[in-house]
Amino acid sequence: MTGPQTQSRPSARTGPAASAAPTAIPSPLAVWLYAARVRTLPASVAPVVMGIALAAADGTAHAASALAALLGALLIQIGTNFANDYSDFTNGVDHRAAGGRRRVLPEGLVTPRQMLAATVLSFGLAVLVGVFLVARGGWPIVLIGLASILAGVLYTGGPAPYGYRGLGELFVLIFFGPVAVAGTYYVQALSLDWRPIVAGLGPGFISVAILAVNNLRDIENDRARGKRTLAVMLGRGFARAEIVTAIVLAAALPVVFVLAGAAGPALLAAALVLPAAFPTVRLVLTRDDATTLDACVARTGRLLVLYAALFSVGWLL
């Protein structure tokens, strides 16, 4: 999304990114939907759904806690998206997005003060939701919530943003995977074993693939602005291998559960995400244009939804 603070930076309000802003002014609602990056929200919904399914299969589902976990996850991700845009822009490394997408701060559709206020509001609402979850789940929920918010803010903010240093995939794997699934399970069951933690690797891997496609699409802009994603540091070939590997590992996980005797054969349906991914993978492996890769980001997000749905149903059967 941005570049590191160690490089020289263009003015946040000048240059090609600002001049390329489209003339049509969207509605305020559309502006904030752009800023919230609604199409990325399955990354927070999918693991929560899986955590709910695992708890339901164990007879420990708790509707109010499940709903609160879902709302909290959405608010934290939206707050993270706002915080990233704010940090990118104020650091002077934001740019008009590839593939014709909008970036509301470079285009002047939202002021930095408004974006900061939206960030605080989103995280503040997440904390309010967290009060209920803490009342039910205790201090482990405090640690999970604070770690999630802190990780979201420091992705592109603070003195050493790790998103500028090739560590974004690690954050995504952990917090959109085992933390989300196991946290959702725990707040319902009030206990935890290895299954939700390992199951969380599935959505975590596909979320890594989403980020890797995003970084492959933005590789030239990121390189020009000094943002050192893994794609920038290790090249297009690595990014493509990373995407394929992440999807394959997610598809292999249901097989592991079945072979270990921890789930029935119905869970193997989740492995169908692999053949479903073939058309998207083919595009990722053969195309470099930003418009196609931008479409692949959305398509990989839909793979995550499919995976979570098939895994959840398969686990319940």
SS (H, E, C) the chain: CCCCCCCCCCCCCCCHHHHCCCCCCCCHHHHHHHHHCHHHCHHHHHHHHHHHHHHHHCCCCCHHHHHHHHHHHHHHHHHHHHHHHHHHHHCCCCCCCHHHCCCCCCCCCCCHHHHHHHHHHHHHHHHHHHHHHHHHHCHHHHHHHHHHHHHHHHCCCCCCCHHHCCCHHHHHHHHCCHHHHHHHHHHHHCCCCHHHHHHCHHHHHHHHHHHHHHHHHCHHHHHHCCCCCHHHHHCHHHHHHHHHHHHHHHHHHHHHHHHCCCCCHHHHHHHHHHHHHHHHHHHHHHCCCHHHHHHHHHHHHHHHHHHHHHHHHHHHC
Check whether 20 has a pLDDT greater than 70. Answer: no
Confidence band, pLDDT 50/70/90 cuts, at residue 88: confident
226-241 pLDDT, tens per residue? 888 999 999 999 999 9
156-194 pLDDT, tens per residue? 887 788 888 899 999 999 999 999 999 999 999 999 999
Confidence band, pLDDT 50/70/90 cuts, at residue 25: low
What is the pTM (predicted TM-score) of this model?
A: 0.87
252-281 pLDDT, tens per residue? 999 999 999 999 999 999 999 999 999 999
Q: What is the pLDDT of residue 231?
A: 95
Q: What is the pLDDT of residue 221?
A: 85
Asked whether 250 and 199 are in contact (CB, 8 A), the reply is: no
Alpha carbon distance 204, 228 (integer Å)? 21
Share of the chain above pLDDT 90, in %: 71
For the segment 53-70, the average pLDDT, to the nearest whole number, is 96
Confidence band, pLDDT 50/70/90 cuts, at residue 14: very low
Confidence band, pLDDT 50/70/90 cuts, at residue 213: very high
Share of the chain above pLDDT 70, in %: 89
Q: What is the pLDDT of residue 2?
A: 39
Report the chain's mean pLDDT, rounded to a whole number. Answer: 88
- Lowest average pLDDT, out of 25-34, 107-116, 193-202, 204-213, goes to 25-34
Identify the residue with better confidence: 224 or 301. Answer: 301
Check whether 91 has a pLDDT greater than 80. Answer: no
Confidence band, pLDDT 50/70/90 cuts, at residue 37: confident
Check whether 288 has a pLDDT greater than 60. Answer: yes
List domains and CATH numbers for the chain. 28-316 (1.10.600)
Confidence band, pLDDT 50/70/90 cuts, at residue 16: very low
Q: What is the pLDDT of residue 10?
A: 39
124-135 pLDDT, tens per residue? 999 999 999 999
Check whether 41 has a pLDDT greater than 70. Answer: yes
Confidence band, pLDDT 50/70/90 cuts, at residue 19: very low
